[in-house]
Chains A and B, each alone.
Chain A
Amino acid sequence: MNEFTSNLLSALTLRAGFNSALVCIGAALLGIAAGSVGTYALLRRRSLASDAAGHATLPGLVIVFILLSWLSGDARWVPALMLGAACSAAVGLASVQLIHSRSRLPEDAAIGIVLSVFFGVGIVLMTVAQNLQTGQQAGLAAYLLGSAASMLRNEAQLIAAAAFLLSLVIYALRRPLNLVCFDPDYARVQGLSVQRMDLALNILLLTVVVISLKVVGLVLSVALTIIPAVAARFWTDNTRHMVTVAATLGGAGGYIGAALSSSTENLPTGAVITLTLFSIFLASLLLAPARGVLATLLRHLSFRRRVHRRQGLLALYRGEPIYDGLTLKLLRKAAWIRRDGVATPAGAIAAQRAARDEQLWTLLRKRHSSNKLARQYHQLVPIRHVLSEDALHELERELQARASEDQGQEEDHGRH
């Protein structure tokens, strides 16, 4: 085992020292909070607002940094820096709202404006701070792309505690948030202010961004809220489950990413966590049972086989020749036809059943043309899986009655 793997293993099992363990746990809690807030943001179509918030933290961060280095010697007092970041991010989000509501500019443009202009202000201030010669500018650079390695113990504790508190707040607010995301109109009827919940969502997003500054960095903080939520979309369609899945994926991504970055040399933690989250996302895209590529492909193939089997049996029943290769293969595999294409006894019975099923379905569709069941017909389920026994018997009786009627008519016709 080389050094990297053993480092990674000890980091993953929280044996790489107290600091590193604290950072990993903090990142995991942060991932949980960000994943769940991100899901609500995704459902409210506000995903990229946190990108604006992330970039908008820079001016406040640097102003507090400059003030601190003037007032005291130590410019790296994290709570004050976080407060500064939160204030300027709040101004940024308020500006997005203001531009969007008080002018004809669309929200995406407002987000882009706030993001770039605030970041520009931050960079100007950063060059000011660099010229102050305090010798602590490296502290600022860590906030751009995150740096778990340079984190002090009390900083890691603060981040873990804040992320934990935030998760609790989100848990407490889950009902109104679910309601607003799922059905805003119903929420309004229930006396819930959608505006107020959107404001709460903004505040939660902002808090995630501010807490994640030291770990993920402000440039990539948006990844922490967006990627787990989008990944969760592939696992489930249910809003409530989606939040849980996103929180889990986000937590796992934060944990593994922080362990990865702390077990190698000084890599930007934000980039490592983002790529870890993306790997999780990619796995979800490919493997998730609900919408994953693999599951979709398997469903498609099985559907195709079902169609071919059914059409083959119907052709057998009608005594028509079958030319399609896949159909022949499937029928042979089920031992419904012999090598020369003649139906086996089992095949004849299956064909009869399929034809009967088809007739029942046709009758059902004729009787309930607007029925949901009738529209599900394309899924090719045997009708007895769909109807209750009574309904099935009734349908069969009707079919029989019609058949004898037809026969009677034919006999009449023959007599004349």
Chain B
Amino acid sequence: MDGIDFLQLSLPPIVIAVLAGVACALPGNFLLLRRQSLIGDAVSHVVLPGVVGAYVLTGAMNTMPMLAGAAVAAVIAVILIELIRRLGKIEPGAAMGVVFTTLFAAGVLWLELSHTSNVHLDVEHVLYGNLESLIWLDAESWRSLADPAALAFLPGQLTRLLYVLAIIVVFLVLGWRALVLGTFDPDFAAGIGARPGLFNILLLIVVALAAVAAFEAVGAVIVVAMFICPPAAARLMTNNLRLQVWLSALIAGIAAVSGYVLASWGPLWLGWPHSVSAAGMIAVMGGVQLALAFAFGRHRQRPTP
């Protein structure tokens, strides 16, 4: 395989996978520390009816309607969860379970009933994306990387993920102090006016943003895996939150690159002329790194008091 093939067919998916992984892993750190890891799981299920609704209404995969639809679905989910939790005095996990399964089921059914069964959106696509199809045929040589005309034809998911990642990074940098305080000591944070309630909601919005952008590009599996595995692995390696966030981004990047490479060429090395699902392999590599951290991480136990 020569360079141009790599540039056209492999580089865009790899970059997209890395961006999606990092975009999910960064806010995932705070979800992990707040014991809200499964919110990442729930959100990635909940956005489905919103995305399907936008797709059915507009007839195309456009980002803005999809984000709007996902936002509507997320708001409905939050209201329902609160209602169930308060009225039934039910633990948040179970309330979440009721809501996300229902909304996911509604999305699946809507998808089947709307008969828009085009090539673009079906249940399999929802679950494991179509990373391999995000290619950049306008690249003619490595010089295209500096050519605005060719760059304009990069897969739209790549640019959108870039924007989303930028928003997430800005949010983390600007809101760092309030986020950290709100995570470890909400009462103290409220006391000094760091608005833990507001930042809780902002964090959820950022999580939803990451989930929708990544979901569109790579499917629900990577989204869930990248929300949880890299932060969890990083947590087992350090006690320093800043370092943990950097490590989680690094781990997500490694998972994305190694997962894609193994999925595309791994079977060939074993003498089997096919490739396997890149999305699945990226999740697996996230798990492998977590297993390594679990076995060798310096801070895998709770500190003994």
Mark A residues whose CB is within 8 Å of B. 42, 45, 47-48, 51, 99, 102-106, 108-109, 111-113, 115-117, 119-124, 126-128, 131, 141, 144-145, 219-220, 222-223, 226-227, 229-230, 233-234, 267-268, 270-272, 274-275, 278, 281, 285, 291, 293, 296
A/B interface sample: 17 pairs, CB < 8 A:
A47-B97, A105-B236, A108-B93, A112-B37, A112-B41, A112-B227, A117-B283, A117-B287, A120-B284, A127-B277, A223-B105, A227-B98, A233-B90, A267-B112, A271-B106, A278-B102, A285-B88
Give the top 8 A-B pairs by smallest Cβ distance, nearest first. A120-B283, A117-B287, A123-B280, A274-B105, A116-B225, A223-B101, A124-B280, A271-B105
Contacts of A229 in B (CB 8 A): 94
Interface residue B128 (Cβ < 8 Å from any Cβ of A): yes
Q: Are B281 and A124 in touch, CB under 8 angstroms?
A: yes
In the complex, B203 has a CB within 8 A of chain A: no
B40, B97, B127, B229: the one within 8 Å of A117 (CB): B229
CB-based nearest A residue for B224: A116
B23 within 8 Å of A by Cβ? no
Task: Evaluate contact between A275 and B106: CB separation under 8 angstroms.
Answer: yes
Q: A48, A111, A121, A234: which contacts B87 (Cβ < 8 A)? A: A234
Q: Which of B35, B89, B101, B222 is the one whose CB lies under 8 Å from A106?
A: B35
Q: How far is the CA of A119 from the CA of B35 in the complex (A)?
A: 22
Q: Is the CB of B302 within 8 A of A104?
A: yes
> Any chain A CB within 8 A of the CB of B147?
no
A104 touches B299 (CB 8 A): yes
In Å, the complex CA distance between A120 and B284 comes to 6
Say whether, besides A42-B94, A223-B105, A275-B109, A112 and B224 are in contact (CB < 8 Å): yes
Task: Give chain A residues whose Cβ lies under 8 Å from the Cβ of B109.
Answer: 267-268, 271-272, 275
Tell me if B20 is interfacial: C-beta within 8 Å of chain A: no
Question: B95 at the A/B interface (Cβ < 8 Å)?
Answer: yes
The distance in angstroms between the C-alpha atoms of A124 and B283, with both chains bound, is 10
- The answer to whether A281 and B98 have CB atoms under 8 Å apart is yes
Cβ of B51 to closest chain A Cβ, rounded Å: 15
Report the Cα distance A112→B44, complex, angstroms: 12
Q: Which residues of A contact B236 (CB under 8 A)?
A: 103-105
Given contacts A105-B236, A111-B37, 9 further A-B pairs with CB under 8 A are A103-B236, A109-B232, A115-B224, A119-B221, A123-B127, A141-B124, A144-B127, A227-B98, A233-B89
How far is B38's CA from A141's CA once the two chains are assembled, in angstroms?
25
Q: Is there contact, CB below 8 Å, between A226 and B84?
A: no
Q: A47-B94, A113-B229, A230-B95 are in contact. Are A220 and B294 (CB under 8 A)?
A: no
Taking A112-B228, A278-B102 as contacts, is the C-beta distance between A233 and B88 under 8 angstroms? yes
Tell me if B69 is interfacial: C-beta within 8 Å of chain A.
Answer: no
Q: How far is the CB of B210 from chain A (nearest CB, A)?
A: 15
CA distance A48 to B274 in the complex (A): 36
CB distance from B299 to the nearest CB of A (A): 7
Q: Is B104 an interface residue (CB 8 A)?
A: yes
A108 touches B38 (CB 8 A): yes
Contact of A268 among B91, B95, B108, B282 (CB under 8 A): B108
Q: How far is the CA of A274 from the CA of B45 in the complex (A)?
A: 14
Give the residues in chain B near A223, CB-CB below 8 Å: 97-98, 101-102, 105
Which residues in window 270-305 of B have CB below 8 A to A?
A: 274-277, 279-284, 286-287, 290, 294, 297, 299-302
When chains A and B are docked, how far (Å) is the Cα of A226 from the Cα of B37? 19
- Which A residues are CB-close (under 8 A) to B279? 120, 123
Among B83, B97, B283, the residue within 8 A (CB) of A119 is: B283
- Report B203 CB to chain A, min CB distance, Å: 16
The reply to whether B286 and A116 contact each other, CB–CB distance below 8 Å, is yes
Residues of B near A267 (CB, < 8 A) are 109, 112-113
Complex CA gap A141/B280 in Å reads: 16
Residue among A45, A115, A141, A220 making CB contact with B101, cutoff 8 Å = A220
Chain B neighbourhood of A119, CB < 8 A:
221, 224, 280, 283
For the complex formed, measure the closest distance between the CB of A124 and the CB atoms of chain B, giving whole angstroms.
4
Determine whether the beta carbon of A106 is less than 8 Å from that of B224.
no
B87 contacts A123, CB within 8 Å?
no
CB neighbours (8 Å) of B228 from chain A are 109, 112-113, 116
